[in-house]
Structure 1
């Protein structure tokens, strides 16, 4: 595989950015008076998360959609606090790897994300490295700006097409199995990055893929 790879598409959360969705879940459980399962079913049925992740609803609409399930009098800021709790940090060593990798490959970021989270993790890049997120990649593709998300086939096809990438020369690194399966179905090479595997295990110190 390594000899063929010329392009690498990175996921963000769980690959570059440390996240803990359970922190968000715990805050929402407290906010929803212990009715988390019922609320989550409603959220899925109403496509609230999907719509926010694909930019179909605004941040304020997202807040209001979740706020209606909270205790009476819960301020909108509590939604922000709970939603942002899952974002932890970007390890400096991950940024070091990314910077080295771009010397040898065309690199891209493809993330399912949203308008509330984007400025927060963008600031993590700049605060930790002194460089903007965009400086680490040839292209940055965010679901809420594209109007589509993983694991849908069209988002992978879009990234391949607009950048002139051949699937067999492209490696996709993600922590979600359903996203890995979707990319592999298009002939994209994949690495399912789950603990104890980290970016440092995939690349050498000079930024090349390990054999």
Structure 2
């Protein structure tokens, strides 16, 4: 089987309020204002597909949110999204590989984040056969082509894959591609799924 894991809130806890908190501290713009103005709009999507540079993305978001930040301040806040690794999931990934399954990560991410989390959490790369990142593929979930590309690269049919993600749209996209898909709603979702399998 091929097991496909999303990154944020599946393998690593993330919290965008931490990002906004850092930006608020630097800019003195009230956190409540930033929470209202922050959206994952087209610039966000273009950045995740690798179509927008980090600097251009920072400028665009700062303009949209009226944020007087330097690129360094923007970056410091952007990296604050990562909270902590989920060791239970890392353990499961290792066990699956020991059992002969293929394990990959498929993440909508951006170059700024990939300069941070692989060094911060080397356990992720150690637990996966391959890591597929949206900005390297020029595609992002839930676009059907991103799932097809992973299946083709790994040599599996959709019926031989299971996908874990915390975003309902991404789950729908994978289901439309014929992949068994599990919506991760909390830290217990992935461990519970495999506990039931072994019953």
TM-score when normalising by structure 1? 0.80
4+ aligned runs moved over 3 Å, structure 1: 25-41, 67-72, 208-211
Structure 1 residues 113 and 164, CA, compared in 2 at 3 Å: closer, same or farther? same
Match of 2:118 in 1: 122
Distance 1:62 1:146 in 2: 18
Q: 1:20 to 1:185 in 2, by over 3 A?
A: same
SS at structure 1 position matched to 2:115: helix
Q: Which residue of 2 aligns with 1:57?
A: 52
Distance 1:156 1:71, change over 3 A: closer
The answer for the alignment partner of 1:158 in structure 2 is 149
Give the deviation of 1:32 after TM superposition: 8.1
Distance in 1 between residues matched to 2:198 and 2:167, nearest whole Å: 22
Which residue matches 1:3? none
Q: What's the secondary structure of 2:8's corresponding residue?
A: coil
Residue 135 of structure 1 is matched in structure 2 by 126
Displacement of 1:187: 1.1
8 A Cα contact 1:180 1:191, kept in partner: yes
Alignment TM-score, normalising by the size of structure 2:
0.85
1:106 alignment counterpart = 102
Aligned-residue CA RMSD in angstroms? 2.4
Unmatched tracts of structure 2, length 5 or more: none
Aligned length: 194
Give per-residue Cα distances to partners, 1:130-163, cap 9 Å, x unaligned.
xxx4332222100011111001111011111222
Question: Which of the two has greater helix per residue?
Answer: 2
- CA distance 1:32–1:53, change in 2 (3 Å): farther
**2:4 touches 2:164 (CA, 8 Å); kept in 1?**
yes
Q: 1:202 & 1:99 partners in 2: Cα distance?
A: 16
* In 1, Cα distance between equivalents of 2:93 and 2:163: 14
- For each residue in 1:69-123, what CA deviation from the matched residue of structure 2 results, as whole angstroms up to 9, or x when unmatched? 4454x32222112211211121333322221121221111100001111132112
Q: CA deviation at 1:209?
A: 4.1
Distance 1:124 1:178, change over 3 A: same
Could you tell me how far apart the structure 1 residues matched to 2:92 and 2:73 are?
35
